[in-house]
Structure 1
Amino acid sequence: MYAASALRIGYGLLYFAFLVREFPHRNTIWGPDSPWTPELAKELFGQTGWASVLTLSDSHAYFELCYTSALVISALYVLGWRTRAVSVLFAVVVASFHARAILMTDGGDNLILLISVYLVFTACGRRWSLDARRARLRSAGGGPAHRTGIRRWSGAEAGRPRHPLAAARETVTVVVHNCAMLVIAGQLCVLYGSAGLYKVQGGTWGNGTALHYVLNLDLFRPWPALSQLADSHPLLIALIGYLTVLVQVAFPFALFSRLKYPVLVLLLGMHSGIAVLMGLPLFSGAMIVADAAFLPDRFYRSLGSLARRLLRTLRPSGGTPDAAVPGHDSARPTSPT
Structure 2
Amino acid sequence: MSTTLPLGARISRAADRVTGSPLGAYQTAVIRIGLSFTWLVFLLREWSNRHEMYGPDGPWSWEMARRLTADNHAFTALLWSDGGLWFEAVYAFAVVTAALLTLGWRTRTMTVLSMVGVLSLQNRSVFLGDGGDNVIHLMALYLILTRCGRVWSLDARRAEKQAGAPARPDVTGIVLWAACGIALAAAQVLGETRMSWTDHGPLPGVGWATALWGLWLVQALWWLAGRYAPEPRAVLDILANLLHNAGLLVIMAEVCLIYATAGWYKIQGSRWQDGTALYYPLHLDYFSPWPELSHALAASGLLVLLLSYGTVAVQVAFPFTLLNRRVKNVLLAVMMMEHLGIALLLGLPFFSLAMIVADAVFLPTSFLRRLGPLAGRARDRLLPARKQPVPAQREGDEAADRTLVG
CA deviations 1:30-62 (Å, max 9, x no partner) are 111222111000011112111211121121111
The answer to whether the aligner puts 1:285 opposite 2:353 as a matched pair is yes
CA deviations 1:259-286 (Å, max 9, x no partner) are 1111111111111111122222221111
- Shift in alpha-carbon separation, 1:104–1:235, aligned structure 2, 3 A: same
The answer to whether the aligner puts 1:234 opposite 2:301 as a matched pair is yes
Choose from 160, 181, 192 the match for 2:248: 181
8 A Cα contact 1:111 1:286, kept in partner: yes
Choose from 91, 97, 108 the match for 1:67: 91
Partners of 2:119 and 2:94 lie apart in 1 by 11
Count residues with an aligned counterpart: 302
8 A Cα contact 1:32 1:38, kept in partner: yes
Choose from 62, 86, 93 the match for 1:38: 62
- Shift in alpha-carbon separation, 1:261–1:130, aligned structure 2, 3 A: same
The answer to whether the aligner puts 1:167 opposite 2:234 as a matched pair is yes
Mapping 1:115-264, distance limit 5 Å = 115-143=139-167, 163-257=230-324, 258-264=326-332
Q: Which residue of 2 aligns with 1:331?
A: none
Task: State the 1:313 CA deviation.
Answer: 9.7
Answer with 60-69 or 9-18: which moved more: 60-69
Partners of 1:282 and 1:225 lie apart in 2 by 22
Structure of greater Rg:
1
8 A Cα contact 1:138 1:144, kept in partner: no
Q: Which residue of 2 aligns with 1:272?
A: 340
Choose from 17, 34, 39 the match for 1:15: 39
Segments of structure 1 that go 5 or more residues without pairing to the other structure are: 148-161, 317-337
8 A Cα contact 2:91 2:117, kept in partner: no
Q: Which residue of 2 aligns with 1:55?
A: 79
- Please give the secondary structure, in 1, of the residue aligned with 2:280: helix
The answer to whether the aligner puts 1:297 opposite 2:321 as a matched pair is no
The residue type equivalent to 1:115 in the other structure is M
CA deviations 1:146-205 (Å, max 9, x no partner) are 99xxxxxxxxxxxxxx94323211111111101001001101111101111111122221
Partners of 2:379 and 2:149 lie apart in 1 by 24
CA deviations 1:118-152 (Å, max 9, x no partner) are 000100011111111111111042548999xxxxx
Answer with 59-68 or 248-257: which moved more: 59-68
8 A Cα contact 2:103 2:153, kept in partner: yes
Q: Which residue of 2 aligns with 1:156?
A: none
Superposition RMSD in Å: 2.3
TM-score using structure 2 length: 0.70
Task: State the 1:26 CA deviation.
Answer: 0.5
Partners of 1:87 and 1:238 lie apart in 2 by 42
CA deviations 1:287-321 (Å, max 9, x no partner) are 011001111322211222444577899999xxxxx
The residue type equivalent to 2:364 in the other structure is P
- Please give the secondary structure, in 1, of the residue aligned with 2:127: coil
8 A Cα contact 1:77 1:83, kept in partner: yes
Partners of 1:308 and 1:290 lie apart in 2 by 22
8 A Cα contact 1:52 1:100, kept in partner: yes
8 A Cα contact 1:80 1:131, kept in partner: yes
8 A Cα contact 2:105 2:155, kept in partner: yes
The answer to whether the aligner puts 1:91 opposite 2:115 as a matched pair is yes
